[in-house]
Amino acid sequence: MELAGKRVLVVGMARSGVAASELLSKMGAIVKVSDNRPMDQLKKEIRTLEGLGVALETGAHCLDSFLAASLIVVSPGVPLRIPELQEAQRAGIEIISELELAFRFLKGKIIAITGTNGKTTTTALVGEIMKTTILPVLVGGNIGTPLSSLVGSSTPETFSVVEVSSFQLEAAPSFRPDVAVILNVTPDHIDRHGDFRGYVETKLNILRNQLASDMAVLNLEDPILSGLNQSVRAKTFWFSNRREVEDGTGFDGEQLVFKKRGNREVIVPGRSVLLRGSHNLENVAAAVTASRLAGVSATGINGAISRFKGVEHRLEWVAEIEGVSFYNDSKATNVDATIKALLAFDSGLVLILGGRDKGGDYTVLRPLVRQRVKTILLLGEASGKIQSQLEGIVPMHRVKSMQEAVNIGFKLADRGETVLLAPACASFDMFLDYEDRGQAFKGAVNSLRVVNAMGVNEI
């Protein structure tokens, strides 16, 4: 892809947009960045971009900027349906995602991981497993480091382990991973993709360009994925947390077992998996399959799994105060993720729900709430909708801040019980992102711990 002297517009000035601008500038493109947020919200990003000598457009998108470009690179947070992008598309201007841009220059092999839930945990684990080899390994994508930032470090021998979101897959016409992993597909981002079918089709883009020489790793227990075998060109391998599988990784009730062409290998006992919840056994099985297909030995995989304690903001233990445990699952940004979080505990939960609604159906939480939750604390814009859909099961209280949620949760929980943040919603109503929300929760817990240690009765 020749970029020297080419006019390129980058839409969105978040991490991916900045990384794309850096890559484009190095390739000799004439870069302009457009973001509809005001300049005072973009001070850090602007400092970085000004150092590159790119043109900046803030406060609103200008249609002329879009129509003057010969290529447009879209950040994940920018919907393709905004009017300026639609006009550019009608004008025949090529529009690609930051993922697609990076892919066109990235060297080496790619293990790409997507799914509604578990992407970050699985990507991080595959990265740790791959690092047990002598191969050069890069980890990035939706997990925090944009793929464009990895291009300069990649070599023909590199393995890039990449977390991929549906937003990134929307405009990735040639993206082709050597190993593609889909963990699960359940309703999410309906506000972005229009309906569940649109969301599913976008997720499946990760498989579209694969060839028979590539490999697809799919969840045998997912009703959508288990029916894809005939439509996938790549060699298909499966994973399951319930049973052994013919090709891939399964669980025989005691240990994870990898099979390929009739060969059976015991990889790791289930008790060695440190991550909480049966869904994490599924994530580990997926990671085993991808890593084994990439050539990592069973011994290397076993050691990495036995050491891996998970990622921040995903069922993360924060503290125990007077016998009450606090867990941070801020990354549970949809209903299905909250279901998985609830399944990791038996009972006695004070559950913090709420945030910005993504079109989810909260009524499906009712059976688990009835079984495992004693009280719900509602925070954020979706509080009213959640309350109306879960009314009458357990007591619910609305709170105005994360500190209030933590304080009240502590008062309502008995010794041996748990305060769990698993919001089932996006974070953008009150926080910058799920990480900011998780840090707010942990900060509130730490404040509570300090106050409690001082013996103050009123919190």
- DSSP letter for 12, please: -
Q: Residue 119 catalytic?
A: yes
Considering the domain architecture, whether residues 297 and 355 belong to the same structural domain is answered as no
Residue 185 CA to residue 34 CA, distance in Å, equals 32
Residue 433 CA to residue 237 CA, distance in Å, equals 34
What number of CA atoms fall less than 13 Å from residue 330's CA on the CB side? Answer: 22
Q: Residue 117 catalytic?
A: no
Q: Residue 75: inside a domain, yes or no?
A: yes
pLDDT score for 189 = 81
Q: Residue 458: inside a domain, yes or no?
A: no
Domain containing 379 — which CATH number? 3.90.190.20
**Cβ count near 62 (within 10 Å):** 14
Burial class (CB in 10 A: 0-12, 13-18, 19+), 446: middle
Catalytic-role residue among 117, 142, 328, 407? 142
Q: Which of 265, 283, 307 is the last residue of a domain?
A: 307
pLDDT score for 457 = 54
Asked whether 42 and 36 are in contact (CB, 8 A), the reply is no
pLDDT values of the chain reduced to their tens digit, one per residue, 459 residues: 799 999 999 999 999 999 999 999 999 999 999 999 999 999 999 999 998 989 999 999 999 999 999 999 999 989 999 999 999 999 999 999 999 999 999 999 999 999 999 999 999 999 999 999 988 999 999 988 999 999 999 999 999 999 999 999 999 999 999 999 999 998 888 878 889 999 999 999 999 999 999 999 999 999 999 988 778 999 999 999 999 999 999 999 899 999 999 899 999 999 889 888 888 999 999 999 999 999 999 999 999 999 998 889 989 999 999 999 999 999 999 999 999 999 999 999 999 999 999 988 999 999 999 999 999 999 999 999 999 999 999 999 999 999 999 999 999 999 999 999 999 999 999 999 999 999 999 999 999 999 988 775 544
Catalytic-role residue among 61, 189, 193, 358? 189
Considering the domain architecture, whether residues 293 and 232 belong to the same structural domain is answered as yes
pLDDT score for 107 = 98
Q: Residue 459: inside a domain, yes or no?
A: no
pLDDT score for 459 = 44
pLDDT score for 456 = 56
Q: Residue 244: inside a domain, yes or no?
A: yes
Q: Residue 21: inside a domain, yes or no?
A: yes
Considering the domain architecture, whether residues 159 and 280 belong to the same structural domain is answered as yes
Considering the domain architecture, whether residues 124 and 146 belong to the same structural domain is answered as yes
Considering the domain architecture, whether residues 275 and 387 belong to the same structural domain is answered as no
C-alpha dist (Å) from residue 256 to 246, 308, 310, 330: 13, 16, 18, 28
Q: Which of 307, 331, 351 is the last residue of a domain?
A: 307
pLDDT score for 68 = 98
Considering the domain architecture, whether residues 75 and 210 belong to the same structural domain is answered as no
Q: Mind listing the pLDDT tens digit for each residue in 216-251?
A: 999 999 999 998 877 899 999 999 999 999 999 999
Considering the domain architecture, whether residues 393 and 430 belong to the same structural domain is answered as yes
Q: Domain range holding 446?
A: 316-452
Considering the domain architecture, whether residues 230 and 320 belong to the same structural domain is answered as no
Considering the domain architecture, whether residues 280 and 340 belong to the same structural domain is answered as no
Considering the domain architecture, whether residues 267 and 368 belong to the same structural domain is answered as no
Write out the DSSP string of 341-387: HHHT--S-EEEEE-SB--S--GGGGHHHHHHHEEEEEEESTTHHHHH
Considering the domain architecture, whether residues 283 and 360 belong to the same structural domain is answered as no
| Residue 58 tokens, joined | 């803030």
Asked whether 228 and 243 are in contact (CB, 8 A), the reply is no
Domain containing 12 — which CATH number? 3.40.50.720
Q: Residue 26: inside a domain, yes or no?
A: yes
Residue 323 CA to residue 328 CA, distance in Å, equals 17
Q: Residue 157: inside a domain, yes or no?
A: yes
Domain containing 243 — which CATH number? 3.40.1190.10
Q: Residue 1: inside a domain, yes or no?
A: no
pTM score above 0.85: no
Buried b (16+ CB within 10 A) or exposed e, 357-379: bbbbebebbeebbeebbbbbbbb
Q: Mind listing the pLDDT tens digit for each residue in 390-412?
A: 999 999 999 999 999 999 999 99
- Give the three-class secondary structure for 96: strand
Considering the domain architecture, whether residues 34 and 176 belong to the same structural domain is answered as no
Count of domains observed in the chain: 3
Q: Which of 250, 282, 307 is the last residue of a domain?
A: 307
Catalytic-role residue among 61, 119, 193, 313? 119
Q: Residue 279 catalytic?
A: no
